[in-house]
């Protein structure tokens, strides 16, 4: 009986060792690993944008260029136009979900508006806000690894051309103030989505305030009267869609 048990154990051991050897010779499949997209917002970018721009001009006559003090309502005008341009900037991602960055943005476009001078209804003003440039810092938070919400703020620059026309007895150019540089501030915000490595798209809104400034007009030769000094306040709004190509994507 004892010899039979030993014999059975020997057979079982032999079979077990054979199966182990067979298993060792079989190829081992690598565990399945699901690829996870990596998003790193640190780096610089360049891109383009298109959208709409709205400009509002409020004017008040405060005197003549000779120094005479006056106070007359010249009214206000506003209009909107298609604009487009580009942007360049750099971002730094920190503490997992936060981002800081700097950006320069330029948009081409002439936003024209026309309005009657309230105090002098036989005259009207034709005003153009030409091209806008901003230099801003921004702070963002990653709602998801690929979606960034952000706010931005900084300086803004633009240029305006203004012309005053009379309508009686016939239309004529009365005075002008062309090539007036304006400087102000801007604040805005938006959402940016990194939809592929190195590529992102964004939608944003910006408000620009160029304050109030006294502008000396130039009388058109051959017209009667003295050129005005006009206190002018200018504000601009933008709604933009854009795309960026990002350098140094990935860790």
Is the bond into 169 cis (omega within 30 degrees of 0)?
yes
State the average pLDDT for the chain.
Answer: 88
Question: What's the Cα-to-Cα distance from 239 to each of 120, 139, 206, rounded to whole Å?
Answer: 34, 19, 7
Predicted structure pTM score? 0.83
Mean pLDDT on 70-88: 97
Residue 13 pLDDT greater than 60, yes or no: no
Q: Domain extents for the chain?
A: 42-246
CB–CB of 82/241 below 8 Å?
Answer: no
Percent of the chain with pLDDT over 90: 80
Residue 87 pLDDT greater than 50, yes or no: yes
Nearest to residue 244, comparing CAs of 37, 49, 42? 49
Confidence of residue 39 (pLDDT cuts 50, 70, 90): confident
**In the prediction, which pLDDT does 186 show?**
98
Confidence of residue 37 (pLDDT cuts 50, 70, 90): low
Burial 124-136, CB ≥16 within 10 A → b, else e: bbbbbbbbbbbeb
Confidence of residue 234 (pLDDT cuts 50, 70, 90): very high
Question: Architecture of domain 42-246 in CATH?
Answer: Beta Barrel (2.40)
Report how far residue 43's alpha carbon sits from residue 25's, in angstroms, rounded to the nearest whole number.
49
Report how far residue 43's alpha carbon sits from residue 162's, in angstroms, rounded to the nearest whole number.
42
């Amino acid at each position: 009986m004892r010899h039979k048990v030993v014999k059975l154990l020997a057979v079982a051991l032999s079979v077990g060792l054979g199966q182990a050897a067979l298993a060792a010779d079989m190829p081992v499949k690598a565990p399945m690993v699901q690829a996870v997209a990596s998003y790193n917002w640190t780096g610089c970018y360049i891109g383009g944008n298109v959208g709409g721009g709205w400009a509002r001009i409020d004017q008040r006559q405060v005197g003549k260029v000779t120094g005479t003090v006056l106070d007359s309502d010249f009214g206000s005008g506003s209009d909107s136009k298609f604009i487009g341009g580009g942007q360049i900037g750099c971002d730094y991602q920190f503490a997992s979900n936060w981002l800081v960055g700097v950006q320069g943005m330029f948009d081409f476009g002439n936003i024209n508006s026309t309005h009657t001078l309230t105090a002098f209804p036989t005259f009207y003003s034709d005003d153009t806000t030409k091209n806008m440039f901003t230099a801003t810092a921004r702070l963002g938070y990653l709602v998801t690894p690929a979606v960034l919400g952000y706010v931005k703020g900084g300086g803004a620059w633009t240029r305006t051309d203004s012309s005053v026309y009379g309508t009686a007895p016939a239309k004529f150019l009365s005075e002008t103030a062309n090539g007036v540089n304006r400087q102000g501030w801007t604040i805005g915000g938006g959402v940016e989505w990194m939809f592929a490595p190195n590529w992102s798209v964004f939608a944003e809104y910006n408000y620009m305030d160029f304050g109030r400034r006294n502008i000396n007009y130039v009388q058109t030769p051959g017209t009667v009267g003295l050129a005005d000094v006009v206190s002018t306040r200018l504000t601009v709004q933008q709604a933009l869609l854009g795309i960026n190509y990002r350098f140094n994507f990935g860790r």
